[in-house]
Structure 1
Amino acid sequence: MRKLIDPNKEVALYIQLKDVFIQRIQNGEWGADKLIPTEQALMKEFDVSRTTIRQAISLLVQEGLLEKKQGRGTIVKPRKLIGNLGQLKGFAEEVLEKGQTPRSQFIRAEFKTDLHHERSMLNVEENEPILLVERIRFADDVPVALERTCWPQSIGNILMEFDLNEARYYEILEKYNVYLNRASEKISAINATIQEADLLGIRAGEALLEMTRLSLGVNGEPIEYTKTKYRNDQYHYSIELKR
């Protein structure tokens, strides 16, 4: 790899190194949220001084590609997902649009009769079971969000016929002529509990972005009630305002 930089070039060595590091990030050799090689290893590989290595790394930290973690080292900073408040999309759709790979880790799926708030939001009868599905959502193997979704029994019966871990729920429902037409969302900032922090790989008390969504069908009937808690370093919302 020494040949990737040339001390005879007019371009400074740390700038050449920076370009090599960027290439490794872009091609996935240095994965998101993973530690990059130590300064000592990079010095040996490229036969340059520690100062040169640190200058290259410092530039990439400034540009938001790398991040120094106290007690760990330097990691590749994951790309933030950007949710558009004006569009009704699922998590997997948003991740794929950003060129990343979505994945889920299943926590549980069960019909419940004691979810009183959810029953009210979904406008279902007193004793009607509600399907509760909980998953951890990943982008490029980085945990991004905790998702808790509730569905009326009629919808839940359809979904339970499929693998709920990796399923794209909206696509399944559309095959059964169930279409989401619009949704209302509420967004708030909360702090991660010990359990939430453990599942998301962060420290307890760190800020989370909590999004609550009620999705309606073409006739205005409630179809889905979801509460998703996003890592603030992995996700932010964008909205276009007009006057």
Structure 2
Amino acid sequence: MSAPLYRQIAHKIREEIESGNWREGEAIPTENHLSLQYSASRVTIRQAIKCLVEEDLLKRVQGSGTYVNEKKIEHNIFELQSFTEEMRQLNKEPVNHVINFQMITPSDYVREMLQLPDGEKVFYIRRQRLVDHTPYVLEDTYLPVTMFPDLSYQIMSGSKYDYIERVRGMKIKESFQEVIPILPEQEIATSLSLEETTPILKIQLHSIFFDGTVFEYSEIYFKSDEYKFKLRASRP
């Protein structure tokens, strides 16, 4: 028994993608064009596209069209890398858009995470991390003012870890991370160009130097349609 027509068409579209005829990030032909190409109704074409959207091969962008999905970035949480370093390894050039940069009195929770005495100020920085004009990550970072007195908007428009290690000469040892699936608040969803009903992944982390000093606390929001998290487990 032959497969339904929409599945046959989905298979042909999949072949176009796998052969490289339809490239990652590019818009696919319109439903009208595909309807003529495959001698099928638009309803059938829509069913075929729906199958491939569910497989993450295609993605629909409201008001724009349907695109070949780019492969998700594999984020290894066991490797401490900056977003800039991670993207450049993939031959992508990241852009850091600083949305907020200010000196604040931290909440009790942030103060405890940074192991700061009462009255210490921190820099709070919210950065939108983009590649090819697409937001991938939203990051809220808290850094002690006494540790980084020369920190500036311009510095945070670049690589934070590059500044800490190359400019300040401080050696980063490791970070401690907690991964939490959440539904984003409106402001976060807007910054990531998402609907509030789209699940995302939040990482809460604090990082330390080799002498054990905690130097940052960050909350990082990852788009689940751009990232997948890679873990390696071994038996004891």
* Counterpart Cα distance in 1 of 2:13 and 2:121: 61
Q: For residue 70 of structure 2, what is the aligned residue in structure 1? A: 78
Q: Helix, strand or coil: the match of 1:92?
A: helix
* Counterpart Cα distance in 1 of 2:193 and 2:49: 24
Decide whether the 8 Å contact of 1:17 with 1:56 is kept in 2. no
Q: CA separation of 1:16/1:211 partners in 2, compared to 1, >3 Å: closer, same or farther?
A: closer
Structure 2: state its 5+ residue gaps: 1-11
Which of 144, 153, 158 matches 2:150?
158
Q: CA separation of 1:51/1:62 partners in 2, compared to 1, >3 Å: closer, same or farther?
A: farther
Which of 140, 163, 167 matches 1:172?
163
* Counterpart Cα distance in 2 of 1:120 and 1:19: 50
Q: For residue 234 of structure 1, what is the aligned residue in structure 2? A: 226
Q: CA separation of 1:226/1:21 partners in 2, compared to 1, >3 Å: closer, same or farther?
A: same
- Count of aligned positions: 220
C-alpha RMSD over aligned residues: 3.1
Q: CA separation of 1:20/1:117 partners in 2, compared to 1, >3 Å: closer, same or farther?
A: closer
State the shift of 1:161 in Å: 7.4
State the shift of 1:183 in Å: 1.1
Matches within 5 A, 1:50-69: 50-51=39-40, 54=45, 64-68=56-60
Q: CA separation of 1:228/1:17 partners in 2, compared to 1, >3 Å: closer, same or farther?
A: closer
Q: For residue 187 of structure 2, what is the aligned residue in structure 1? A: 195
State the shift of 1:57 in Å: 6.4
Q: For residue 25 of structure 1, what is the aligned residue in structure 2? A: 23
- Segments of 4+ moved more than 6 angstroms: 55-60
Q: CA separation of 1:52/1:59 partners in 2, compared to 1, >3 Å: closer, same or farther?
A: farther
Decide whether the 8 Å contact of 1:100 with 1:139 is kept in 2. yes
The TM-score, its normalising length taken from structure 1, stands at 0.77
Amino acid at match of 1:79: K
Decide whether the 8 Å contact of 1:187 with 1:209 is kept in 2. yes
Q: For residue 217 of structure 1, what is the aligned residue in structure 2? A: 209
Q: CA separation of 1:52/1:17 partners in 2, compared to 1, >3 Å: closer, same or farther?
A: farther
Decide whether the 8 Å contact of 1:111 with 1:132 is kept in 2. yes
Structure 1 vs Structure 2: percent identity of aligned residues? 25
